[in-house]
Amino acid sequence: MSASGKIVRVNHLSTEAIAPLFVDLDMRNCFQTRGSFTVTNIQELNLVRSITRGGAFQVYREERHIRQSAASDFFACLALRGQVTVAQEGRTCQLDRGDIALMDSRLEYMLAMPDERDCQDFRVWAGIMGKKETHYVPTQGAVDSG
């Protein structure tokens, strides 16, 4: 098993700087935010340690991104510092330190990031999960860790 990686430091976050690390998306209210992203690739698994400071911002994956992108990945976001709000398929949850959320890039989602955040993101290509005839049906809601 081989691993490759890189570190990306950004003084002013932007869609153009960050989307290549994840999937096609839009970032809003992020100009005052700076970040450091440590990317490690291990075969089909992509790990991104994201540390941002300087301002709250939002990330949106919308229908237009899904239509124009071949990406079909599953993401897991593990909050290490700061609260992260995740919304997908009409459900919203707030992640505190140690909480994890799963997202499907084939569906719209929104992430709201705090002024200071530290997260470990895991991305895996959906095809590695096996071929499915239909879209999976989410059966589990947010878990209250308190």
The 8-class DSSP code of residue 31 comes to T
Range of the domain at 79: 3-128
**In the predicted structure, residue 102 carries a pLDDT above the cut 80:** yes
* pTM of the predicted structure, to 2 decimals: 0.74
For residue 17, the model assigns a pLDDT of: 75
In a domain, 111, yes or no: yes
In a domain, 59, yes or no: yes
CATH of the domain at 11: 2.60.120.10
Tokens of 113: 């990031």
Q: How many domains does the chain have?
A: 1
Q: String of b and e for 36-68 (b: at least 16 CB within 10 Å)?
A: ebebeeeeeebebbbbbebbbbebbbeeebbee
In a domain, 138, yes or no: no
In a domain, 136, yes or no: no
Distance (Å, rounded) from C-alpha 21 to C-alpha 23? 7
Rg of the chain on CA atoms, in Å: 15
Distance (Å, rounded) from C-alpha 55 to C-alpha 134? 39
In a domain, 140, yes or no: no
3-state secondary structure of 100: strand
Task: Name the more confident of 12 and 103.
Answer: 103
**In the predicted structure, residue 146 carries a pLDDT above the cut 60:** no
Q: pLDDT, tens digit, for every residue of 114-140?
A: 889 899 988 887 766 555 544 544 444
In a domain, 124, yes or no: yes
Tokens of 90: 């009409």
**In the predicted structure, residue 144 carries a pLDDT above the cut 60:** no
In a domain, 45, yes or no: yes
In a domain, 145, yes or no: no
Q: pLDDT, tens digit, for every residue of 17-52?
A: 776 777 778 778 888 888 888 888 888 788 889 898
Looking at every residue in the chain, the average pLDDT score rounds to 80
Distance (Å, rounded) from C-alpha 62 to C-alpha 131? 24
Other C-beta atoms lying within 10 Å of the C-beta of residue 20: 11
- Position of tokens 């994840």? 22
